[in-house]
Amino acid sequence: MAHYSRIFKIVVDADAAVHDRELAFWQAATGQELEHYQRFSEFHGTDLPGTDVGLLVQHIGEGPSRLHIDIHTDDMTAEVARLEALGATVVRREEGTFWCVLRDPAGLLFCVVADPRVTEANGQRWD
């Protein structure tokens, strides 16, 4: 069955020691206020003007600061299976959540996020 996906967010994962500085840096670098999300308190984010991509700064409890990409899709199961067939490996998939953490062939982390807003109008079709 066909499904759709797209790169939707660039995520800056910042550990507690640098989170506030990182947030201030990315707000200044983009000229955008990164709104604090009430539902997901570890995130600040914005849509980037002139693009179809957003930026998130995520407060991570521990571990190295890094960047990762979020791929949004209308069919999580199909998209994760497609990416696994390309060489990705699942790192964490919790039952009942709307996201899955994967590692690409180079060992870099990224996420797949279920998002019904991804359609033929704004996503890549995969058969």
pLDDT of residue 41: 87
Residues 46/32, Cβ–Cβ less than 8 Å: yes
Measured from the Cβ of residue 55, the count of other Cβ atoms closer than 10 Å reads 20
Class of domain 3-8+21-122: alpha beta
Mean pLDDT value across the chain? 94
Task: For residue range 51-107, list pLDDT tens digits in order.
Answer: 999 999 999 987 889 999 999 999 999 999 999 999 999 999 877 789 999 999 999
Average pLDDT value for residue range 42-46: 94
Residue 4, CA distances (Å) to 33, 54, 93 in order: 30, 18, 20
Instruction: Give residue for tokens 């890094």.
Output: 66
Q: What is the pTM of this model?
A: 0.91
The structural domains of the chain, with segments of one domain joined by +, span 3-8+21-122
pLDDT at 36 over 90: yes
Q: What share of the chain is helix, strand, coil (3-state, %, to 5)?
A: 15, 45, 40
Which pLDDT band holds residue 3 (cuts at 50, 70, 90)? very high
CB half-sphere exposure, 20, CA atoms < 13 A: 1
Residue 32, CA distances (Å) to 44, 45, 101, 126 in order: 11, 9, 27, 33
pLDDT of residue 114: 96
Of the listed ranges 8-17, 24-33, 36-45, the least confidently predicted one is 36-45
Q: Which two tokens stand for residue 80?
A: 């994760």
